[in-house]
Amino acid sequence: MTRFGGILVAIAAVTAVAAPFFLKPFGIFLISTWAVLTIAAIGLNLTLGYAGQISLAQGAFVGIGAYTVALLTPAGVPFFVAFMAAGLLCFAIGWILGYPALRVQHHYLAFVTLAFTTLVFLVLRNEEWLTNGIYGITGTPRPNLLGWKTSGARDFYFLCLGTLTMLSLATWWMLRSPWGRAFLALRENPIRALSLGLDTRRYTLMAFAIGSSLGGLAGALYAPLVQFIEPNSFSFGLSFNLLLMVIVGGSGNFFGPFVGVLIAVLLPEWLRITQGYYLIAYAAAVMVILVFCPTGVLGLIERTRRLVRHKVTGTPPLTSGAGP
Amino acid sequence: MLRSVLFAPVIVTSLGLTSPVHAQSTVYIPAILELSGAGAVSGTNFRDGMLLAIDEINAKGGILGKKIDTPLLDTQSDAGTSRAQVQKVLDNKPYVIIGPVFSGSVLVDMLLTQQAEIPEIVGGEAAAITQKGNPYIFRTSFGQQFSIPKIANYMRDRIKAKTVAVLWVNNDFGKGGRDTFIKEMNSRDIRVVADISTESGQTDFSADVVKLKGATADAIFVYLNEEESARFLREAKKQGINKPLIGETTLLGQKVIDLAGEAANGVRGHVGLTIDAPIPAVQEFAARFKMRFNYACDHNGIKGYTAVYFIKHVTEKIRKFDSGAFAEAAHGMTITPKDEPGILMEATWDKNGDIDRISFLGEVVDGKQKIVKTLPKLGK
Amino acid sequence: MASFIQLLVSGLATGAIYALIAVGFTLLWQTSQTINFAQGEFVMLPAFFVLAAMNAGAPFWLAVLIGISLSVLILGILFKVVVVDPMLKYGVLPLVISTIALSLLLKESTKDFYSSQAQPFPALVPAIDVHVFDAVVSTQSLAVLAVAIVTVVSLNLLLNRTRLGRQMQATAQNATLARILGVPVRRMVLYTFLLNAVLVAIASILVSPIYLAKFTNGETLGMAAFIAAIVGGFNQVRGAILGGIILGVLDNLSAAYISSQYRGAFPLIVLIIVILLRPQGLLGRIEERSV
Amino acid sequence: MTAVLEVSNIRKTFGGIVAVDDVSLKVPAGEILGIIGPNGSGKSTLFNCVLGQLQPSAGEVRIDGKLTTGMRPCDLNRLGVSRTFQLLQVFPQLSVRDNLILAGQEHQGSMASRLFGRADAGLSDAAGEMIEFFGLSHLVHERAGSLSYGQQKLLDAAMAFMAGPRLVLLDEPAGGVNLTMLGQLRERLHAYHAERNATFVVIEHQMEFVMALCTRVVALAEGRVIAEGAPQDIRRNPAVIEAYLGH
């Protein structure tokens, strides 16, 4: 990372830690939501931005994760165990959902995953014996970890932030390992990758499974954050939103999700000054952002940097990076 | 990351923007409503009824000399969002909170308002809401545990039904009604021979009507939202269903009648709140509403309107803006139109925050809702 | 048996509506790789144009014309110029997001600037119930079915018999090559957008009397159209008809005979199976994937 | 001794069209075999059948006597069979160095070791040598996308050699490369061949290139082998001339 970038990250990190001390509970709830959704978005960015596999199922995985925790913790399962279970369950399901990606790509894959999302919603709503159906599950407790009570808004935020930090470090590690290289190869040219000995099938499934498990882990925090989950919260609206966050932030860019989620969480709140018209304003804003930076906010910064370099060294600027 | 640095202050400002500097001359009574998404119809009706009341009251000098300051916060018909919005208004120390209408949202919000000890006046009708011993929750209409039994009695006493079919919309409103209904039917040993779920926003009801025709039911209980009710009634007429169609409030609402046209004729059932109630006050209100917003208000409009007058009256009784005292006083209080015209119909709030009013049995006769019988308050 | 025929007939009628919407959807995909997630809202909106025009005092026939021209202007030209063109060269995804945002924009605008309430909508054809075999079907549904079939047939004629149509197809199949062959590609793409705008307007005016005009209608219709388009064949106009009808009938049969709670699931399962076993759709051509 | 590559009676049909019709080849170790033929004569299809990118309709492929028909390209590659593509196939977003590391990383260790091991999979040096060998050292950190066409061709070849394959199939390596670059490429191929005694199979149009590079040439037309022998003989072979002029 460039020195410039390093400084920005440092500033952002300090802001993230300091913020809750200046905010009212609502503000803390917002940034907690940001932290949780960022985890899910990082997962989608891995599947979509790096491995180039479009998925409209991330919202469903957040839901599966949330229900796992909401169902296990009241049964006396320690939060940490339930948290892990959510991750593993979504890893397994994500692996299976990856198989269609071995056959079809692009919009076909998008619609398969979208169908999956809706099916998950139907199961969550209809299997009342398990999920309490449309009524949802109220009051998932916030965990005590080694004596640390996270019931307070600020404590729970730090739990989310901590989890986010650890998971993004892990992702960072994976992306700089040969796996990261393999994922990029998968996105840019699967056929060539195959001829270079890359087991593209295994990497594709991995990309799906890991991305999905991150979605599940996000959900594991979502349940105790909101303390009420219902099937509707995880219908395709959420999947669309997560996709929006990744694209707006800059897909295939490590920090894209952080920025994208921040925009998607804060902008609507911010626009509520326009009273009844805030959703219109928000939708318009998103479209404008995309017109000016189709490769995402960070993509734009990337491109301008390249253009500048281009002027100097004569390397052509790149437009790709917005996934397939 | 650049943007996040730029946006970080926004977190703070966004709060600055959302916490109105309410001067001493106003009382802060925020409303959290379904203004977009699936619940928008109910939410906007509720909102407009509420606004009407607020303007009337403020025009007359407000409550105890303070003008009502009611920012509208949209839940997008999503529980998570509504929770966030409640959190937001709680940060600004509200006196009372109005809304939301969706029971799911109510169930999550009431956890917070209870913690903060702020009364919440909701439009939700799910039975569960008032069964959690929450001393800060108040209804503006019958909970399903009161309205559905009235339907059940109607089925037994008037229709003399031995077997019934139930058609319900598969959201928390419809499911709640359906579950209560089945319970009530069993307790009156009436057999439920068909139990059909429909999707909210469903457009084609032919399959459901076919199933209903197949079922040998003496009567059909229809528990859907407005436009779905209308679509169903049209399909039912098309396929010539000849069983009595029984509904609860919505099905007999003017909106459904307008949408379904003559297909609505012959529909009967229980009406909790209706602008067609044979009560002058209600009809005058309906007229004022129509004049201002130029559409016919439904029961949610009445809920919103009476909610505000409920707050006004209780506050004037306790003579101060004290959330705790409000909750205290409101339980077991009966408000008559004599003391408070804006309440439209005499209403009593019991110890759980459930409301008790007179209600009606109605029937749709050539495109108009006709009240055939007035049911007394349960308390009497 | 009677009920079965009834389900079939109504399914057919519903399917025709889906088909009508799906056709435009596939056209956009073919010529400009646009997955229009706002297609449902595109169908919801023109009805409100018409209603607005009527509130302004226009007679129905005039209001209909106004509605169609407005949707050509807004959902055709404006949509292409403002939303699609700037983003096309950046791949499918940013555009997908943009259309998702657009659908929110259209829904909310309709709600805030017209009404959140469902609106009754005047019918082009009087609603008379016709008895076919032992099933009942409304003349309105028949009208939709007829229009859908006529549309697709004439579209096929246009695409296969006329020079213009062949140029459009060339554009759809290989824009670069078409350009070399002197096809005015840009104009062809614009034409498909106009065509789509007209189709959604027609669909809107046909279905609103049956389904009522409401700002949320697009959600159900849009999703149905996607499924119909893919099942039938993303790159085949007549595929949309088949897809739509399969979907409509399947939805009814599964709701009636299998499970009403899971009625939404069966079309999706079919969708997944079709995509996995025959990605090009039942009537679709295989799209060469560049190696 | 068994041939490095043995193709027996390969046949590939698309619908009704026969692309490759009963072709058999034997490529002994250390040979540089050229495959020529007019467009559509089935050269690339044959390649793809050998490399598992296509399933042959009939026939067998053996590498070092091991039956490999129907194997996935990645497994074949791990057996020491690598290729270049007719159209450029480098990873434009990755640096030259990363392109080469990628070409080598899957040939060692396990998935786990690749996740937890070193970021460069310990291939930096090997990559460096290969880059130097192809004279790209000055570009090592450039994104492959920003290289000139010829440079990318070299990189493409370098990637094929990165894992030290026993058998390399080059699909029109000379295609679209300017003469100086062409000379460099041919010279590099020769050098590599001499150093590692690798076996090449080359599809090429550019006759001079074939003549200069190959030890033996097979001519295809309409999916069939029409001639086979030393480059200069093939050049004079009437059947070959006919096949080319015929088109």
- How does pLDDT run across D122-151, given as a tens digit for each residue? 888 999 998 998 888 899 899 998 998 888
Min CA distance, D103 vs chain A (Å)? 5
C80 interface with B at CB cutoff 8 Å: no
Query: CA D89 to CA A251: how far, in whole Å?
Result: 23
A151: left (phi over 0), alpha (psi -120 to 50) or beta: alpha
Q: How many CB pairs under 8 A join B and C?
A: 91
Q: Is the pLDDT reported for residue A318 higher than 60?
A: no
C-alpha R_g of chain D: 18
* Mean pLDDT value of segment C179-183: 85
Q: Determine, for residues A30 and B84 on separate chains, whether the beta-carbon distance falls below 8 Å.
A: yes
Do D60 and D100 touch, CB atoms closer than 8 A? Answer: no
CB neighbours of residue D87 within 10 Å: 11
Q: Yes or no: say if A137 and A229 are a contact pair by the CB < 8 Å rule.
A: yes
Beta carbons of C10 and B207 less than 8 Å apart: yes
Which tokens is A315 given? 């390397």
Q: Find, among B285, B282, B284, B302, the residue nearest to B50 by Cα.
A: B302
Q: How close, in Å, is residue A252 to chain D by CA atoms?
A: 11
How much is the pLDDT for D167? 92
Whether the predicted pLDDT of B22 surpasses 70: no
Chain C environment of B204 (Cβ under 8 Å):
10, 14, 248, 251-252
Residue C285: the pLDDT is: 67
Average pLDDT of the residues in D218-243:
87
Q: Do C248 and B170 touch (CB under 8 A)?
A: no
Instruction: Say if residue B21's pLDDT is above 70.
Output: no
Diameter over CA atoms, chain C: 59
CB burial string D131-166: b at 16+ within 10 A, e below = bebbebeebbebbbbbbeebbbbbbbbbbbbbbebb
Q: Do A15 and B17 touch (CB under 8 A)?
A: no
| pLDDT at position C237 | 77
- Residue B79: list chain A partners with CB under 8 A: 136, 226, 228-230, 232-233
Q: Residues of A numbered 67-96 whose beta carbons fall under 8 angstroms of chain C's beta carbons: which are they?
A: none
Nearest to D89 among A189, A202, A318 (CB): A189
Residue whose tokens read 């008379």 = C128
Q: How many residues comprise chain C?
A: 291
> Across the interface, which of D107, D114, D145 has its CB nearest the CB of A318?
D145
- Quick: pLDDT tens for C69-112: 999 999 999 999 999 988 888 888 899 999 999 999 999 999 99
- Res. B10 pLDDT band, cuts 50 70 90: very low
Chain C residues whose CB is inside 8 A of the B255 CB are 117-118
B175 touches chain C (CB under 8 A): no
In angstroms, the CA D66 to CA D241 distance is 36
Pairing of strands D5-14, D58-63: antiparallel
**DSSP strand pairing (C135-138 vs B137-139):** unpaired
Cα A71 to Cα A62: distance, rounded to the nearest angstrom? 14
Query: Which of the pair, D160 or B14, is modelled with greater confidence?
Result: D160
Going by C-alpha positions, the residue among C60, C28, C34, C33 that lies closest to residue C47 is C60
What are the CA-CA distances from residue A145 to residues A79, A149, A159, B241 (Å)?
8, 7, 9, 60
**Are the beta carbons of C3 and B226 separated by less than 8 Å?**
no
Q: Per residue in B267-309, pLDDT tens?
A: 999 998 888 888 999 999 999 999 999 888 889 999 999 999 9
Please list every residue in chain C whose beta carbon sits closer than 8 Å to the beta carbon of residue B44.
111, 116-117
Is the CB of A198 less than 8 angstroms away from the CB of D83? Answer: no
pLDDT the model gives residue C290: 34
Pairwise CB contact (< 8 Å): D105 & A182: yes
Query: In this structure, what are the phi and psi dihedrals at residue B216, rounded to the nearest 5 degrees?
Result: -95, 70
CA nearest to B203 within chain C: C211
pTM, whole model, 2 decimals? 0.92
Amino acid at A90: C
Task: Give the distance from residue C226's alpha carbon to the nearest chain A alpha carbon, in angstroms.
Answer: 8
C212, B231 contact by CB (below 8 A): yes
Residues of chain A in contact with residue C96, where contact means CB-CB under 8 angstroms, are 110, 243
Cβ within 8 Å, pair A283-C105: yes
Q: What is the pLDDT of residues A170-187, one digit of tens each?
A: 999 999 999 999 999 999
CB A255 within 8 A of CB A66: no
Largest CA distance in chain B: 71
Query: Taking CB atoms and an 8 Å cutoff, what residues of chain A touch B84?
Result: 26, 29-30, 33
Closest partner residue to C90 among A277, A282, A322, by Cβ? A322
- The two tokens of residue A292 are 């000016």
Q: For chain B, list residues whose CB is within 8 angstroms of any CB belonging to chain A.
A: 1-5, 7-8, 10-15, 17-19, 35-36, 72-74, 76-80, 83-84, 87-88, 90-91, 104, 107-108, 111, 126, 128, 170-172, 175-176
CB neighbours of C7 closer than 8 A, spacing ≥ 6? B206, B207, B210, C249, C252, C253, C256
How, if at all, do strands B219-223 and B120-122 pair? unpaired
Residue of chain B minimizing CA distance to C135: B239
Nearest to C15 by CA among C208, C240, C205, C179: C240
- Residue of A108, A283, A294 with shortest CB distance to C102: A283
pLDDT of res. D2: 74
Cross-chain Cβ contact A136/B104 below 8 Å: yes
Residue D209 has pLDDT above 90, yes or no: no
Q: pLDDT at position B6, please? A: 39
* Interface contact A179, partner D, CB < 8 A: yes
Question: Phi first, then psi: what are they for B98, rounded to 5°?
Answer: -105, 140
The two beta strands, B137-139 and D32-36, are: unpaired
| Chains touching A, CB cut-off 8 Å, 3+ pairs | B, C, D
- Gap between the terminal Cα atoms of chain B: 66
For A111, the closest of C83, C230, C264 (CB atoms) is: C230
What pLDDT shows up at residue C93? 87
Q: What is the pLDDT of residue A78?
A: 95
Q: pLDDT over 70 for what percent of chain C?
A: 97
pLDDT at A16 over 80: yes
Of D245, D220, D187, residue with least CA distance to D20: D220
How far apart are the two ends of chain C, measured CA to CA in Å?
A: 52
pLDDT surpassing 70 at residue A316: no
Q: Which of A187, A196, A305, A312 to mutate to test the interface with D (most CBs of D within 10 A)?
A: A196
- Arithmetic mean of pLDDT, D89-107: 91
D74 vs A199: CB contact, 8 Å cut-off? Answer: yes
* CA B124 – CA B102 distance, rounded (Å): 5
pLDDT at B9 over 60: no
A93 to chain D, closest Cα gap in Å: 20
Contacts of B48 in chain A (CB under 8 A): none
Measured distance CA(C7)–CA(C15) in Å, rounded = 12
- Looking at the partner chain, which of A181, A189, A316 has a beta carbon nearest the beta carbon of D105? A181
Question: In terms of C-beta density within 10 A (0-12 exposed, 13-18 middle, 19 or more buried), how is residue C85 classed?
Answer: middle
With cut-offs at 50, 70 and 90, classify the pLDDT of residue C287: low
Instruction: Sort out which chain C residues have CB atoms less than 8 A from B198's CB and list them.
Output: 260
A271 CA: distance to closest CA in chain D (Å): 37
Interface test with A, best of B10, B11, B81 (most A CBs within 10 A): B11
Q: What are the chain B neighbours of C210 within 8 Å (beta carbons)?
A: 203, 234
Which candidate from B43, B44, B214 shows the least CB-CB separation from C3? B214
How does pLDDT run across B252-270, given as a tens digit for each residue? 988 899 899 899 999 999 9
How many other C-beta atoms can be found within 10 angstroms of the C-beta atom of residue D121?
A: 22
pLDDT at A101: 87
Nearest chain C residue (CA) to B297: C117
For A:248-287, CB contacts with B below 8 A are 255, 258-259, 262-263, 266, 269-270, 272-273, 275-276, 278-279
Q: How confident is the model at residue A223 (pLDDT cuts 50, 70, 90)?
A: very high
Element (H, E) at C180: helix C175-180
Measured N-to-C along each axis, helices A278-292 and C92-109 cross at an angle, to the nearest 10 degrees, of 160
Report yes or no: B208 at the C interface, CB cutoff 8 Å.
yes
What subunits touch chain B, counting only 3 or more CB pairs under 8 A? Answer: A, C
D with B: touching (≥3 Cβ pairs within 8 Å): no
